[in-house]
Amino acid sequence: MDLPEEFLSAARKARSCVVLTGAGISAESGLATFRGRDGLWRDRDPRDLATPEAFSRDPKLVWEWYQWRRQQLARSGPNPGHLAIAAMEGMFDSFLLATQNVDGLHQRAGSRRMVELHGNITRDRCTRCGKVVPEKADGGDELPKCGCGGLMRPDVVWFGEAVPAEALETAWEESGRAGIFLAVGTSGLVQPAASLPVIAKRGGAYLVEVNPEPTPLSEAADLAVRAAAGAAMPELLERIGLARGMQARAREINTKSRRCENGT
């Protein structure tokens, strides 16, 4: 991968790095994106499934859709793109991963310094008392209930709902301070996540987009890597590691993530 000197210089100098991910980072783990050719929304209107109104109108239909997504997730796992981002944490004094994804694959890949902007499908939340618990096994026709008697819902942010304030605050702050910002696998269409790269750029960050397709972020990007994240991220990780004089660490991490790819 040919990379411009400006990228290598930014990678070398940056004290802080922020990575924003979207559904595209999980595509190579076999999970459908929302808006692509085979996207989840291709034959569904989001308002039918991912809104509080849809849930109060037909909680069973919404739960069926989430249980189906959980079954897809159970058969999936982190790909080398997730692993490379997890490894990137240790290369910067300050690092934050802000994910729009709810699949929990970043945590399973080892990411720790992260915020979930849209919640997490592997948790349930009570609609009455707000209690959050790990997902319960599919109860078939029985809708999951809380001990307080309230109906449980997936612990995700639906259309029309606010992103968790603390997560957003952290993401905004870190983006404004980032020396290098990577937008990976996101269409850059959904606010407030889509404002993070703009805030980073305004704060002087070097903006990298990793996406096989152009997006509304492409114009502002200093570097557009038109490739799948699973291939591009391990290579970017290695080059960032080299630029920051962490050759051994970068190579060791990549060997590990490639081993993951081959399933060894």
Q: Which of 118, 125, 153, 201 is catalytic?
A: 118
118 among known catalytic residues: yes
Sites for ligand APR among residues 13-42 (CB under 6 A): 22-24, 27-28, 33-36, 39
Sites for ligand APR among residues 100-159 (CB under 6 A): 100, 118
User: In this complex, which beta carbon is closest to ligand APR, that of residue 151 or of residue 190?
Assistant: 190
Distance in angstroms (rounded) separating the CA atoms of residues 260 and 239:
19
Angle of the 195-202 helix axis to the 165-177 helix axis, nearest 10: 30
Structure tokens at 45: 């209107």
Please tell me whether residue 164 binds ligand APR under the rule CB under 6 A: no
80 closest CA partner among 262, 260, 243, 263: 260
Residue with tokens 């404004």: 176
Q: What sign results for the dihedral spanned by CA atoms 69, 73, 76, 81?
A: positive
CB of 33 to ligand APR, least distance (A): 3
CB 69 within 8 A of CB 30: no
Please tell me whether residue 215 binds ligand APR under the rule CB under 6 A: yes
Cα–Cα distances in angstroms (integers) from residue 226 to residues 18, 58, 72, in the given order = 19, 40, 27
Stretch that binds ligand APR, among 60-68, 105-113, 121-129, 222-230 (CB under 6 A): 222-230
Among 187, 197, 209, 250, binds ligand APR (CB under 6 A): 187
Contacts to ligand APR by CB under 6 A: 22-24, 27-28, 33-36, 39, 100, 118, 185-187, 189-190, 210-213, 215, 228-230
